[in-house]
Amino acid sequence: LLQMQPPARAAPLTPRGPAACYGTSITSAKIQVNGVHLHYQQTGEGSHAVLLLPGMLGSGQTDFGPQLKSMNKQLFTVVAWDPRGYGKSIPPSRDFPPDFFERDAKDAVDLMQALKFKKFSLLGWSDGGITALIAAAKYPNLIHKLVVWGANASVTQEDVRIYNGIRDVSKWSEKVKKPLEELYGHKYFAETCEAWVDGISCFAENSDG
């Protein structure tokens, strides 16, 4: 839990100014959803709830640290989650069955409902963008707005070639590799990356992918 230092004098009852809008207080917790203890971070007190969905091997903190710090805390209540098997939502170990995006979408929506948000927006990056698109399609009455980037609508053979190019994490740049090794340890990081490549490549052979 990160807390702001108390001010030198009492603050007004109604917070004003940049400090109120962009404070740094962030809550970190776990909650049981669909049989898994999911980790999330939450900040802000605004009426517009927003869920941040990270990409492959990402977590709320690694993928959305700047957004957690800088999104307006009076306008938004921001939640950044770690999907099952990622970040601090371990156990379980991450796996990639054919429906893993649908599973993540259900986990994400059920997490927000467990946190008592009746309607919320989604910001999804990469795999998180795919998850967000599925969540918005399956649960339209719960989703207010949707922002995605770096997300696939399908997987082509060219995509598979690119994915296989990142299969061996020893070939990754140190800048990209180091924070993930610090988060997961080398063995889990390497094995999960290989499993992800295998899992997402299956969509190239699937008429629905």
pLDDT tens readout for residues 83-113:
999 999 999 999 999 999 999 999 999 999 9
Beta partners for 125? 149
Question: Taken in order 87, 91, 93, 97, is the CA torsion positive or negative?
Answer: negative
- Sheet of 36-43, strands arranged across: 27-33, 36-43, 76-82, 48-53, 120-125, 143-149
- Return the closest-CA partner of residue 43 out of 18, 17, 79, 15: 79
Enter the DSSP assignment of 26: B
Helix orientation angle between 127-138 and 100-114, rounded to the nearest 10 degrees: 70
Which residues are CB-neighbours of 182 under 8 A, at least 6 positions away? none
124 close to 150: Cβ distance less than 8 angstroms: no
Judged on CB neighbours under 10 Å (0-12, 13-18, 19+), 11 is exposed
160 close to 181: Cβ distance less than 8 angstroms: no
Which residues are CB-neighbours of 114 under 8 A, at least 6 positions away? 31, 32, 33
Domain ranges (residues) in the chain: 1-151, 155-209
- In this structure, which amino acid lies at residue 20? A
Fold adopted by 1-151:
Rossmann fold (3.40.50)
22 close to 72: Cβ distance less than 8 angstroms: yes
151 close to 54: Cβ distance less than 8 angstroms: no
- In this structure, which amino acid lies at residue 157? Q
pLDDT tens string for the chain (209 positions)? 333 333 333 333 334 444 446 556 999 999 999 999 999 999 999 999 999 999 999 999 999 999 999 999 999 999 999 999 999 999 999 999 999 999 999 999 999 999 999 999 999 999 999 999 999 999 999 999 999 999 999 999 999 999 999 999 999 999 999 999 999 999 999 999 999 999 999 999 885 65
The whole-number pLDDT of residue 206 equals: 80
The pair of three-digit structure tokens given for residue 162, joined into one six-digit string: 């690119």
Query: Would you say how long the chain is, in residues?
Result: 209
The whole-number pLDDT of residue 190 equals: 98
